[in-house]
Amino acid sequence: MFIMSEDSQRTQGRDAQSSNIMAGKAVAESVRTTLGPRGMDKMLVDSGGEVVITNDGATILEEMDIEHPAAQMIVEVADSQEEEVGDGTTTAAVIAGNLLGEAEDLIEQDVHATTIVEGYHEAAEIALEAIAEQVQEAEVDDDVLKQVAESSMTGKGTGGLTAESLAETVVEAVRHVETDDGVARDNVTVHTQIGASSNATELVPGIVVDEDPAHDGMPDEVEDASIAILDVELDVRTGEVDAEYAIDSIDQLNAAIDAEESELRGYAETIAESGADVVFTTDDVADRVASALAKEGVLLFDDIGSSDAADIASATGARRVGDLDDLETADFGEADRVRSENFGDDDLAFVEGGAAAEAVTVFVRGGTEHVVDELERAIGDALDVAATALESGEVVPGAGATEIAIADKVRQEAAGIEGRKQLAVDAFADAIDVVPRTLAANTGRDPIDSLVDLRAAHESEGRAGLVTDGEEVTIADPFEHGVVDPADVKREAVESATEAATMIARIDDVIAAE
């Protein structure tokens, strides 16, 4: 009896488990060398020749176009980490891969997958307790936030701009959007522009959009701007159906031209008389309307995207108007300054200050497309972790110190667990050790010797991580050297990696339909 189609493929038992675990381990291994301040970059080239250079775990896994379903679960771990806390994607993926590796060894020793899953979940609970014990008691102030941001960006492609100076910009941006209800992270955007050193990166108290004035004669800058946002076409009206009109005399032609001129002049007069001195419209504007508005000193940007219009409206307090006859002063938004600036072949509009001060933009500069792309990713991660740390008020030591503490506590608690589940709990601790081992390997140290030294220092000092000053790597207290991470980054990495690894380990039957 045929239950499945003849083209279906089925893999069962140990073969299925081995195949899935091998795929998960391979994905984790692909990003392992990017971990830490001495991590290396990956160059990813797609079928069209598009090149991406990065050491961001989530970006690497996304660009790899992975098809294996079990391997895709590791990609989802990185995606979940990126979505929830913004950083730690490589850590989460590497832990998940090593949890699978340890599970494979246990399965070969005839430990049932269900026992492994139970042990891993119990170990994860112990790990969360260990993270809570590592939380720094001091207040998360600007100095700590700078350390969090700098730790996140160290080793990433920040061009000629140091992570330290860039961290100041990140903290300023996050503090700018702090509210009584938390941090309005969505009010911070990152805008990249090629054509200068990364040292030209700055914080703009407002928003930036890729638009240029509708007419060369318009002012480049307007201060104390009253801003109108229109969803109106400022051009001669046309019917929805094709029609032809017969003109029998010059008088009729002149009348048609006069009517057209009157219509366009009416648009310009209505806007000028409304009191708006800066106008953004999502539709087209006739040259004659733009010219007339230029003479009135009105700065107009036409054919802007709907999302840009929404952002400007939100930032300035303006209301979008769909009919020019409905335009009123109450619909206007306000900004301290609106200016247009040219950058090579690109023109940008800056809406700054005033009501727009609720939104800020990190204006990123870089000499090449690859530089600004990687810098954008680095700053995005730093903004996320700084916002996370500010909201939770909890930070833990980085540089592998928290992972050493987790592994130590899990091993201590494992001694009190009965049965084969104890093996899984011990294996969890071994898997967590991959983080300090990888950090050591990526800095050129011997992983085993470093792990032994870290454990000894943790036992005697209470905190020990691999701290680098750019040249030398030493074992020290990360807090004393400003190497800190948000506690939520560690929690999310442990939880998401455990969930993915246990899900994959439980699979013993793979049915693939062609």
CA angle 151, 377, 95 (to 5 degrees): 60
Tokens of 418: 């009965």
Contact 138, 474 (CB under 8 A): no
Is 89 annotated as catalytic? yes
* Nearest one of 441, 418, 487, 426 to 99, comparing CA atoms: 426
Beta bridge partners of 280: 229, 301
The position carrying tokens 């455990």 is 498
* Nearest one of 128, 134, 102, 95 to 426, comparing CA atoms: 102
Q: Which of 41, 235, 302, 381 is catalytic?
A: 381
Is 381 annotated as catalytic? yes
Q: Which of 54, 59, 90, 169 is catalytic?
A: 90
The position carrying tokens 């051009």 is 235
d(CA 11, CA 2): 17
Q: Where are the alpha helices (DSSP H) in 50-111?
A: 57-63, 69-84, 89-108
Q: What does the DSSP assignment read for 208-270?
A: EES---SSTTS-SEEEEEEEEEE---BS----SS-------SHHHHHHHHHHHHHHHHHHHHH
Instruction: Supply the DSSP symbol for 156.
Output: S
Q: Which of 34, 59, 89, 201 is catalytic?
A: 89
* H or E element, residue 131: helix 113-134
The position carrying tokens 């700078």 is 146
* Nearest one of 434, 384, 381 to 96, comparing CA atoms: 434
d(CA 432, CA 25): 14
Q: Which of 56, 311, 384, 433 is catalytic?
A: 56
Is 90 annotated as catalytic? yes
Is 79 annotated as catalytic? no
Tokens of 363: 């204006």
Query: Which residues are the active-site residues?
Result: 56, 89-90, 381
